[in-house]
Structure 1
């Protein structure tokens, strides 16, 4: 089957190898992949359902949670179904258009996810540092506009990557040693001048992930300064508890995102199967645990989960 794919589609398609060196274990890898994917889908759909059904949750904070849930589902869905086709059925071929489309959605949804996390940090800053004007500064309409701006930013910044690659010549051996069409993985099989994509991809990593992370850190430095000015220890704890869930989500998302992006460029000493396996965690772990984190740490949302899950 593999020989057939390579021989008959080398000039019209790319070949995704999955996890090179661990092909014999692909079926076993599919178990945690599919389990994490299904748990993530179920959790995020539940968040959307509960917030949509409950009028009391139609607030900026929960609208942001819905945006986070949508980007989480988009992140995992852009990669996992194709990966499972490789693991289960050895369907490794993907057209050039399909590959570049997958690349666009992977990076665009990731950029949108980053924008949502920044907006959530700003939301926590306003809630703690300027609570009396919270409803004025952050209305549902304003949150929707910020989400739209994040989407436009993601499309405008990411679209040049596949557009430039679509004009590039590719070698006859179009084998991608990965589970999905990541920008750098596709760039490496191009026979043309790839300087633009290499530099632009690196710039994006710092502009989107790096700048957004700096904005989040800046927001939390202001939050920390405001909290330290509060004399009551109980108020300290209450203020910090409102940020705990977001901090946990930030740590998991940024850790996997930065590792996946930078290890492609500077991880020559890492075994390919180790890099590919760990890179896939970005598409599996955050979408799975984010709804769990917010379900556990946000009392109002947790109560509504219980209401719909265990009602008679």
Structure 2
């Protein structure tokens, strides 16, 4: 445990990061609230104003994280600490990115199978080049926006939450991610046509599950690149493909990557992460003969601990 950060005291820089990120999210959505915009149907496309506000909102976490870190450590060191530089050999990094792109698609496919059995989704056709090509082009253009979020969540927030235990830190990170989306969710962004009091808790649970998987990808590489790939795949491929291959209008609450039908697959993925974590620590204990305490407030062990140390977080007081 870091002696400069006693149990019960927030990790250095955590409170200002959360405060600025959440306030910034609400501020960027003010024009939409003043405009009276509310998404009431899945057929309703985003207006230019809504697109601009969402772009600004996505950039808030990264700008906050970079500003707080650079203030204490300098811009060049901030790039390394936040995980923007490649942390593993490029071949491993490329494989990690490729796997990260497939994970949201796999979880979505499992969810759509369940939604189809429940009568919530009607598969139509397989996507062809005419469908995939525009999505790929959109994804390439949108890459900086996903760095805008993940530099904040995975580069800055996650290592501070890992001090509360790895699995707990991952789940808290996902919950924070979901709560941060409330200004957009309340406008019907994710679940158009549904009450806010239903959409917000569904969004938070979904974010806890998907966010845990994305964060686990981040921990496996020590770089935010794979986490960005997973987030990009979720928004730029899994979401639109759900509608593109459907024969009917899709209710995002019931079918798709953000729906309740993906919860079983997401929960199973979290369980796999948990079991993998326990296996790593069990092996480590046998090899070193040391005990490991995974209680809240303990320092994350194994690869997570090594990554937190490599970021220089113990010296970062931003």
Q: TM-score, normalised by structure 2?
A: 0.29
